[in-house]
């Protein structure tokens, strides 16, 4: 059997004040929401505590990762571990950067790219798929869509193919230059 419950005049007034207070708090929270325009209109975002770069609320960046002041991470991208994103680099889409990976300069890491381990994607490099990381050489070799990085030297695959031996010789590896050039020619085909 249903019962009628009367709250009385004071109780109804109190409920009205509580509801108005909740509505006001909700309006204040909406006003306080931080947004950032990543180039596609403003979205909810925050500045990462480690570096101050902008991160969309849809992206995931661990506290241990670094996102530099001018770098951005958005979409559903993930950055974790000791990974560092800095300079004007953009990490977005479903891309993942983790381990001790570095993304810097004007690099773009997006779509389903995976940058991991000690890989370095920098300069004007673009990574849209999993980068290849080769170790066991004097320097880590990172292969992106169109670039190959050997230590601090990153060039388009076509440059390595045309001038790889010369570039390596100038870096002080004259004896190894011919072998490296052959390896880089093979890698530029990958």
H helices of the chain, where?
8-32, 157-170, 174-189
**The pLDDT value given to residue 20:** 52
- What is the domain count for the chain? 1
Domain range for 75 is 13-130
The beta-carbon contacts of 132-141 under 8 Å, at least 24 apart in sequence, are 132/190, 138/173, 141/187
Query: For the whole model, what pTM was predicted?
Result: 0.76
Residue 86's alpha-carbon distances to 73, 110, 122, 145, 183, in angstroms, are: 10, 15, 9, 20, 30
Which residue positions in the chain have pLDDT lower than 70?
1-32, 190
- Examine residue 56 and state whether it is found in any structural domain, yes or no: yes
Inside any domain, residue 182 = no
Say if 135 falls within a structural domain.
no
Q: Assess if residue 80 is contained within a domain.
A: yes
Centre a 10 Å sphere on the Cβ of residue 177 and count the other Cβ atoms it contains.
Answer: 18
Distance CA 95, CA 115 (A): 8
Q: Cβ of 93: how many Cβ atoms within 10 Å?
A: 18
Query: Is residue 119 one of the residues assigned to a domain?
Result: yes
Q: Does residue 188 lie in a domain region?
A: no
The reported pLDDT for the residue numbered 17 is: 43
């Amino acid at each position: 059997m249903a019962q009628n419950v009367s709250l009385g005049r004071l109780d109804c007034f109190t409920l009205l004040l509580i509801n108005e207070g909740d509505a006001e708090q909700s309006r204040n929270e909406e006003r306080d929401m931080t947004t950032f325009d990543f180039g596609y209109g403003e979205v909810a975002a925050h500045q990462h505590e480690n570096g101050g770069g902008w991160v969309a609320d849809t992206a995931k960046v661990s506290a241990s990762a670094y996102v530099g002041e001018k770098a951005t991470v958005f979409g559903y991208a993930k950055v974790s571990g000791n990974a560092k994103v800095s300079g004007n680099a953009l990490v977005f889409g479903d891309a993942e950067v983790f381990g001790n990976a570095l993304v810097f300069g004007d690099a773009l890491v997006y779509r389903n790219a995976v940058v991991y381990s000690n890989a370095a994607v920098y300069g004007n490099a673009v990574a849209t798929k999993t980068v290849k990381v080769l170790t066991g050489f004097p320097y880590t070799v990172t292969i992106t869509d169109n670039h190959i990085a050997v230590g601090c030297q990153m060039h388009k695959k076509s440059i390595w193919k045309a001038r790889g031996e010369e570039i390596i010789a100038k870096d002080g590896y004259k004896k190894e230059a011919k072998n490296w050039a052959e390896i880089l020619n093979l890698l530029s085909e990958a």
